[in-house]
Amino acid sequence: MLIPLSWLKDFVDIDIPAELLAEKLTVAGLEVDKIMYIGVPQTQQAHLHATFKQEVRYPKSDHLVWDREKLLWGAIREIKPHPNADRLVLALVDYGGAELEQCVTGAPNLFEFKGQGPLPEPLYTVIALEGAEVWDGHSDEPKRMILKEKPLRGIPNRSMVCSEKELGISDEHEGIMLFHADLGHKPGTPAQAVLGDIVFNIELTPNLARTFSIYGVAREVAALLDKPLHPPSYEVVMDGAPIDGQVFIDIREPELNPRFTLSLLRDITIKPSPDWMQRRLKLVGQRPINNIVDVTNYVTFEIGQPLHAFDYDKLVARAGGKAPTIITRLPEPGETLETLDEVKRSLDSHNILVCDTAGVLSMGGIIGGAETEISDTTTNVLLEAAAWQFINIRKTMSTQKVHTDAAARFSRGVHPSQAILGLKRGIELMRQLSDGKIAKGIIDDYPLPPETVRVALTTHEIDRIMGVRFSAEEAAALLRRGGFEVKVEGETMHVTAPDFRMDISSDPITGQADLIEEIARISGYAAIPNTIIADMMPDQQANPSLEREEQTRDLLVALGLRETISYRMTTPEREVQLVPPGMASSLPQADYVRLANPISAEKTVLRHTLFISLLENARANARYNERQQLFEIGNVYLKNGNAPLPDEPRKLGLLMTGKRGVSGWMHGEEGGEVNFFDLKGVIEGLLDGLHVRQVSYARAEHTSLHPGRSAQLLLDGQAAGVFGELHPLVGLAFGFEDVSVQIAELDLDAILKQADPLHGVEPLPLTPPVYQDIAFIVRETVTAAQAEAVIRKAGGALLKGVRLFDVYTGDPVPAGHKSLAYNLVYQTDERTLTDKEVAAVHAKIVKLCERELEAQLRA
Amino acid sequence: MLEQLETQYKQAAAALEQIAEGAGLAEWERETLGRSGWLTGMLRGVGQLPAEQRAAFGKRANEIKVALTQAYEAREKLIIEQDLARDLEEGQIDVTLPGRPRPTGGLHPSTQTLRQFYHIWGDMGFQVYRSRDVEDDDTNFTLLNIPPHHPARDMQDTFYTTEPNVILRTHTSPGQIRAMRELGEDGSKPIRVILPGMCYRYEQITPRSEIQFHQVEGLAIGRNIRMTDLKGTIAAFARRMFGADARVRFRASYFPFTEPSMEVDVECFLCHGDGCRVCKYSGWLEICGSGMVHPVVLRNGGYDPSVWSGFAFGFGPERMAMLMHGIEDIRYFWGNDLRFLEQF
Ligand SMILES: [Zn+2]
């Protein structure tokens, strides 16, 4: 929202620099996002500091500061033809000097005055004298220039009448800036004093409906600076025939339209609005149209009450020549309306409408209809100022996809009390600008006035929430600055909220909070002391779920993996790539959590598996990184039958591809490519680090994985995830053609449940170990797990360790067989083992392996 | 004989002076002093000399042996020193060559920032409470004092699911309701928690805005929690996070679930308030929204708002990491480009 300080000053006296005012507004919740300067200089930090003892920060602005000696308010007295050029004229400008200054200019908007001799009424503009700094009007890029003496087609020229672009007001460079009135300043006045201004851009939070206007901001400024407020004039000169009988109102939905007011202005002339109004409208970003439409906009921006003007004669025509009746109601089935934005709208059942007996006129509080709008031929104006329920306006804005300045205000809430003020302000301004006559009286239908909000607040309650002790009188004074009526009774304040404070709740507890916020805001947040919490500390508890998750991350990082965090959104089509064509999916079969309003076609559901995140990350990185070792911890989302909320199990995903090691400048040290056992090593390392017990592995049947190189992790015999080499066809789908990808998705909740932070520690052995190796040949179908189980069974208590150190197939091992070789460690704390004891156990192991594994001992 | 001894001695002494390396020295020793060396041979041959010459020869031969042994040892020491000096000289490597790269892992920057929050808030007695990503509309909005069609809903563009009234949480604040109801024991226990988690907003993905991001929200509920405590607590956090002299500015703001509400700015730690691109030349960085828990929210959490009070605050870890590391593009976070991740 744009707030020109020149306009703001109509309503409140401001005696501090703009930058300090911006800081005060920002700290009070009206965030001044930007300060725009028109011609005037910024305040110096040092000045602020010295004068106001305030350290205020604001960005340095690189705007053009208008030289007070060389950029002056000028009156153009005459436009003469240029003797040598048709496209140029000579403007004779009174700039307060002894003689008129002659400027050579090509401004097209002066040509209509050419050769008329001295103008009966001068035109006003800004004249730049030699040496003045201005923006270069002919440059596309912002470029400054210093005005120099330069003859134009044989006529000496050392000054310039300026366009808005040259002064840095706007990009307008079609013609020079022209005013038809002196704006109250004599020629020769520094342009800064006439047109210089500062405009704030204020970001409004949704609770600040009351400040959605210049006057609304002025109220805040008055409260913050503790200055009196000067309201606009609501006097109306009514010298026309009485309004009674000329128009009627019929409100059918008072909940949606609690108030509707009308005034009638006859015998007007449609013409441009005056310079001062046009200038103000431009400063707030509006395009001037004509005196009637401009007033509706002006009042909307000035006091925040949107107005709507009808062409009264068109209404009379629609009523068959009789006095029209304005009806506000909901649409009938099939009703449509063509609005001012040239959209033909079919209406929704909740759209509150302004109608007459012949049909729909406009969408109440939002946008007018095309048929009855003001035109150049309008002579009689019916002005509407009404109140609308803000929630209903919001619904209509979203379903009809329409956004107007009026709707923006009504959708935040405008109190019905404002309607009559807006009507009076608007109709009187229209009268002044259009030479019309206002009908005597106002039609004011107000079926549902809101209740006045009254809240009782104690100083104790302020202290309880704020931690600051105010006396009742101190707090009351702060509230009164904001327009509240306060009656103090001991420690209690009986507060009546002003009607524009629709944000103050009538619920006692919420209303108190609303008032406490107001007291805090007006007194200033900076003035509230900082304390440490004196309240009792709640019981402290451990959070093992989080702590072990973080420990898992640390272990995986120590194992050399890098963490990723991915979008949780994907599509079923993306996840289908995880299944080789023609095969059944082993991925979760639950329904997806589907987005009703996806942001793009690539993000329509929440993921079922981390596989998709890992593989897409790996594919994206593959171009620059052949070697990738990644992990991700995060939720997947599985709909659970008819339960509205899905299950969100926590998963751990791992992905490894490329070389085992990192290549440096020493050749050949990277090792081979990672395979199943690298991945399994990481999983074992993690489970060891977490002290998870009862771990076993079994073959997996998962169609996304290589059928021969994939496994299931079992914890206590329960499945807790799968891992292994990615199925080559799936690898291909993700661009991994010649390289294998090792991937895992494990159930982190199940793993962490088994983690044992209280794991015991083996004492260090007191006796020396005895090492023996054993190697035997078994059929290939015998698994390592089976072989180790037999060895351990036979070894009994004396066998402390079993480590597989070689697996070999090929000559001389017969086909269909393999050789397994183990380091065995014998040890007991009770005594140092003798060779004889060891030999006995060792023989037992050999025997059992021969019997149970049909093993054949090697040399 | 004696003459021959003297000649050999001179030759051997001279030869020793010429020896420059260990191998030559060993050979000299073998040929001279060794068991089959000439000097040993000569000493052994003393018995064959006439008796009157024996004493003189023996004496002289022993003198020579002592002299040569000493010379040998000196020579050996010299050669060892020279060898070592040469080894040290020749063993030089180019120390500017890169080290052998170790396979290293690392934590995602969001995790690293989240951990900073866990540590700092943990020290202040705030424990971590996590809640679900997919939420019901009631918990995400209505119970937080944002009824349907409330203007505040405009502040948070929402992802809806095809399940009626089920959405992706737009903030971690629904965790406030869940924490109060779970930990509050019907509004009878104080609470001090932080609520980290992923949030989702329906926004265009740009360098400055993302559809998913972490939040860390904080909640303190008690019978004596005041706005002054909120200010003091946030200021303490800022000192921990940004340094002991971090300056903080509190300004009024609006969140439907707190009142009074405030935004917290910290003095830009890049320009120390002078104004720079990161702080948009304002000198301040917005780090946190906060406020006193709204009475309606307390009530919805099971607490009597006329007895209990509390404060809440919310941080954006990704935004914080962006400020602290000068990251210009928020899309880096879920892009998972290793060239980005490996910088952490
Ligand atoms: Zn900065």
A503 touches B at CB < 8 Å: no
Mean pLDDT computed over A551-580:
97
Angle subtended at Cα A551 by Cα A549 and Cα A555, rounded to the nearest 5 degrees:
120
A positions 658-687 inside 8 Å of B (CB): 660-666, 669
The shortest C-alpha distance from A528 to chain B (Å) reads 6
- Tokens 């009638």 locate to A264
Record the tokens describing residue B54, joined without a space.
């024996």
Terminal CA-CA length for chain B: 85
- Going by pLDDT thresholds of 50, 70 and 90, the confidence category of residue B327 is very high
Residue A258 has pLDDT above 70, yes or no: yes
Q: Which one, of B68, B71, B10, B70, lies nearest residue B40 by Cα?
A: B68
Which chain A residues are within 8 Å of B101, Cβ to Cβ?
662-664
pLDDT digits (tens, 9 = 90+) for A76-104: 999 999 999 989 999 999 999 899 999 99
- Given a cut of 80, whether residue A294 has pLDDT beyond it is yes
Interface of A with B in 563-622 (CB under 8 A): 563-569, 593-599, 603, 606, 617, 620-621
* pLDDT value at residue B56: 84
Put simply, the answer to whether B295 touches A513 (Cβ < 8 Å) is yes
Contact between B336 and A521 using a beta-carbon 8 Å cutoff:
no
Residue B254 has pLDDT above 90, yes or no: yes
**What is the DSSP-derived secondary structure letter of residue A389?**
-
Gap from CA of A34 to ligand 1 centroid (Å): 16
Cβ <8 Å between B151 and A411: yes
Segments making up each domain of chain B, as ranges? 2-90, 109-341
Q: Å from B199 to nearest chain A CA? A: 10
Q: Is the pLDDT of residue B174 over 70?
A: yes
Interchain pair B127, A568: CB under 8 A: no
Strands ordered across the beta sheet of A31-38: A2-4, A197-203, A31-38
Cα–Cα separations (whole angstroms), residue A219 to A3, A199, A501: 13, 17, 11
DSSP H helices in A9-77? 18-27, 45-52
B258 Cα: distance to centroid of ligand 1 (angstroms): 29
**Regarding the domain delimited by A71-195, which CATH topology (the fold level of the hierarchy) does it fall under?**
OB fold (Dihydrolipoamide Acetyltransferase, E2P) (2.40.50)
SS3 label, residue A621: helix
Q: Which A positions 686-705 lie with beta carbon below 8 A of chain B?
A: none
Instruction: Quote the ligand 1 centre to A306 CA distance (angstroms).
Output: 40
pLDDT above 90: residue B22: no
∠A836-A840-A844 over CA atoms, to 5°? 165
Choose among A576, A577, A575: nearest CA to A566.
Answer: A575
What's the gap in Å between B172 CA and the centre of ligand 1? 28
* Residues A338-386: tens digit of each pLDDT: 998 889 999 999 999 999 999 999 999 999 998 999 999 999 999 999 9
C-alpha closest to that of A650 among A638, A640, A636: A636
Which residues of B, range 239-268, sit inside 8 Å of A by Cβ? 249-254, 259-262
Return the CATH fold of B109-341: BirA Bifunctional Protein; domain 2 (3.30.930)
Q: Could A513 and B233 be called an inter-chain contact, meaning their C-beta atoms sit closer than 8 Å?
A: no
Where does CATH 3.30.56.10 sit in chain A? 2-64+198-225, 454-524
Mean pLDDT confidence for A284-299: 96
Residues 167-196 of B with CB under 8 A from A: 168, 183, 189-192
Which of A121-125, A223-227, A376-380, A666-670 is predicted least confidently? Answer: A666-670
User: How many residues in chain A?
Assistant: 859
Q: Using an 8 Å CB-CB cutoff, list chain A residues near B195.
A: none
pLDDT of residue A159: 94
Contacts of A466 in chain B (CB under 8 A): 226-228, 260
B155 pLDDT higher than 80: no
Can you give the length of chain B in residues? 344
CATH 1.10.540.10 given to domain A248-445: no
Helices (H), chain B: 2-18, 22-32, 38-44, 51-90, 109-123, 137-140, 174-183, 227-242, 295-300, 317-325, 332-335, 338-341
Tell me the shortest Cα–Cα distance from B141 to chain A, in angstroms. 15
By three-state DSSP, how is residue B267 classified? strand
Angle at the Cα of B144 (from B141 to B148), degrees rounded to 5? 40
User: Cβ of B159 and A597 within 8 Å?
Assistant: yes
pLDDT at A109 over 70: yes
Mean pLDDT to the nearest integer, A765-781: 92
In chain A, which among 209-228 make CB contacts under 8 A with chain B?
209
Q: Over 80: is that where the pLDDT of B1 sits?
A: no
Q: What mean pLDDT comes out for the span B50-72? A: 87
Q: Given an 8 Å threshold on Cβ–Cβ distance, is B110 in contact with A57?
A: no
Fold of A2-64+198-225: Phenylalanyl-tRNA Synthetase; Chain B, domain 1 (3.30.56)
The listed CATH number (3.30.43.10, 3.20.20.100, 1.10.240.10, 3.30.56.10) that belongs to domain A454-524: 3.30.56.10
CA distances from A513 to A45, A474, B275, B292, B294 (A): 37, 17, 36, 9, 8
Q: Kindly tell me if the per-residue pLDDT of A214 is higher than 90.
A: yes
Return the beta strands (E) in A42-128 as ranges. 71-82, 85-94, 101-105, 123-128
CA distance B204 to chain A (A): 7
| Residue A590 CB burial class (10 angstroms; 0-12, 13-18, ≥19) | middle
Among the partner residues A58, A517, A553, nearest to B111 by beta-carbon distance: A553
Helix and strand totals (H; E) in chain B:
12, 9
Task: Average the pLDDT over B161-172 and give the result.
Answer: 96
pLDDT tens, A137-154?
Answer: 888 899 999 999 988 888
**Which of A205, A509, A535 lies nearest to residue B190, judging by beta carbons?**
A535
The predicted model scores a pTM of 0.88
> Within 13 A of B60's CA, how many CA atoms are on the CB side?
16
Cβ atoms of A679 and A657 within 8 Å: the answer is: no
pLDDT band (50, 70, 90) for residue A859: low
The answer to whether the beta carbons of residues A134 and A160 sit under 8 Å apart is yes
Answer yes or no: is pLDDT of B89 > 90: no
A560 with B105: Cβ contact below 8 A: yes
pLDDT beyond 70 at B152: yes
CATH 3.30.70.380 domain locations along chain A: 770-857
Inter-chain touch A664–B333, beta carbons under 8 Å: no
Q: What is the pLDDT of residue A722?
A: 98
A565–B103 C-beta distance less than 8 A: no
List, for residues A48-80, the tens digit of each pLDDT value: 888 888 778 888 888 999 999 999 999 999 999
Helix ranges (DSSP H) in A559-707: 572-576, 610-622, 676-690
Of residues B198 and B85, the one with the higher pLDDT is: B198
pLDDT score, position A770: 93
What mean pLDDT comes out for the span A173-184? 91
- With CA atoms as reference, the chain A residue closest to B193 would be A538
**pLDDT category of residue B252 using cuts at 50, 70 and 90:** very high
* Whole-number Cα distances in Å, B305 to A399, A452, A671: 37, 24, 66
Q: Give the Å distance between the CA of B269 and the centre of ligand 1.
A: 7
Q: Which CATH number fits domain A545-662+671-754: 1.10.3720.10, 3.20.20.10, 3.30.930.10, 2.40.170.20?
A: 3.30.930.10
Question: pLDDT by residue (tens digit) across B31-43?
Answer: 888 888 888 888 8
Q: Mean pLDDT across the stretch A501-523?
A: 95
> A194 vs chain B: nearest CA distance in angstroms?
29
| d(C-alpha A353, C-alpha A350), whole Å | 9
If DSSP codes are grouped into helix, strand and coil, which group holds residue A708? strand
Q: Would you state the pLDDT for residue A671?
A: 84
Q: How far is A653 from chain B (nearest CA, A)?
A: 14
**B106, B130, B132: residue with CB nearest A645:** B132
Q: Is B96 on the interface with A (CB under 8 A)?
A: no
Task: Kindly report the nearest CA distance between residue A439 and chain B, in angstroms.
Answer: 38
Could B251 and A603 be called an inter-chain contact, meaning their C-beta atoms sit closer than 8 Å?
no
User: Considering only alpha carbons, which residue of chain B is nearest residue A649?
Assistant: B132
Q: Does B30 touch chain A (CB under 8 A)?
A: no
Tell me if B335 and A540 make a contact (CB, 8 A cut-off).
no
CB contact under 8 A, A464 and B309: yes
CATH 2.40.50.140 residue spans of chain A? 71-195
B248 Cα to the center of ligand 1, angstroms: 14
Q: Binning pLDDT at 50, 70 and 90, where does residue A230 land?
A: very high
CATH class in words for A770-857: alpha beta
Mean of pLDDT over chain A: 94
Cα–ligand 1 centroid distance for B270 (angstroms)? 5
**Contact residues, chain B, for A596 at CB < 8 Å:** 159-162
For residue range A167-176, what is the model confidence (pLDDT) as tens digits?
Answer: 999 888 889 9
Residues 97-136 of B with CB under 8 A from A: 97-108, 110-111, 115, 118, 125, 127-130, 132-136
Which residues hold their Cβ within 5 A of ligand 1, which is an ion? B 268, 270-271, 276, 279
